Amino acid sequence: MKTDLKKILSVPSVEAAPMLLGMSLCRKTKQGVIKARIVETEAYHQMDPASHSYRGMTARTAPMFEAGGTIYVYFTYGMHYCMNIVVGEKGAGEAVLLRALEPLEGIEIMRQNRGVEDIRNLASGPGKLTQSFGITDTRLSGEKLNRSSIWLEMPEKKLKEHEIAVSQRIGIKEATNQPWRFYIKDNRFISRK
């Protein structure tokens, strides 16, 4: 049975995060189309003290409470943007942080956006991948996949369970950390650490 994208976007984040691995994040830009494979994700949800949705809805986090398929972009450390794909039902406050991508198409555009040459340094981190995709503000936050410049494409072959690795999330305080980071085993494009 073919796994449907809509189905993936409707389940809780801890289930959706590994399911998004292998899918392609795509964006149409002025310079051309960019495509990159999702190789590392993290799950966040409303009962999670490390999640932006934990303390309820604010102007910034409102998109995180929208229905699955919404995009949530936030600004952090005074200089970086991070992108999430909201999942679950409207009001749930569930999202999957995209942490690393493997460049597939539009690699020259990604190089220009990042200002670096090394393909492994284009999208191997949550701040890097937004920069390589030309996301330089939070205007995409609240937009819907497929109804904006950004969309997802299903992989040609689905990942097997043994190809997926799990670990604690990165940059989260010890006390609130959980094994909710997922990445493709042995992939060269995951973030460092």
Q: How far apart are CA 88 and CA 67, in angstroms?
A: 6
- Could you tell me the smallest distance in angstroms from the CB atom of residue 83 to DNA? 8
* Contact region with DNA (CB under 7 A), list: 24-32, 73-81, 149-157, 179-187: 73-81
When asked if residue 111 is in the footprint of DNA (CB under 7 A), the reply is no
For DNA, which residue of 5, 125, 133, 150 counts as binding (CB under 7 A)? 125
C-beta of 36 vs 97, nearer to DNA: 97
* Contact region with DNA (CB under 7 A), list: 23-31, 67-75, 155-163, 181-189: 67-75
Q: How far apart are CA 91 and CA 187, in angstroms?
A: 34
The helices-and-strands tally (H runs, E runs) of the chain is 4, 8
When asked if residue 55 is in the footprint of DNA (CB under 7 A), the reply is yes
**E strands, 77-142, where?**
80-87, 94-105
C-beta of 1 vs 59, nearer to DNA: 59
* Contact region with DNA (CB under 7 A), list: 20-28, 101-109, 122-130, 153-161: 122-130
Q: How far is Cα of residue 119 from the mean position of the Cα atoms in its chain? A: 19
Q: How far apart are CA 193 and CA 46, in angstroms?
A: 26
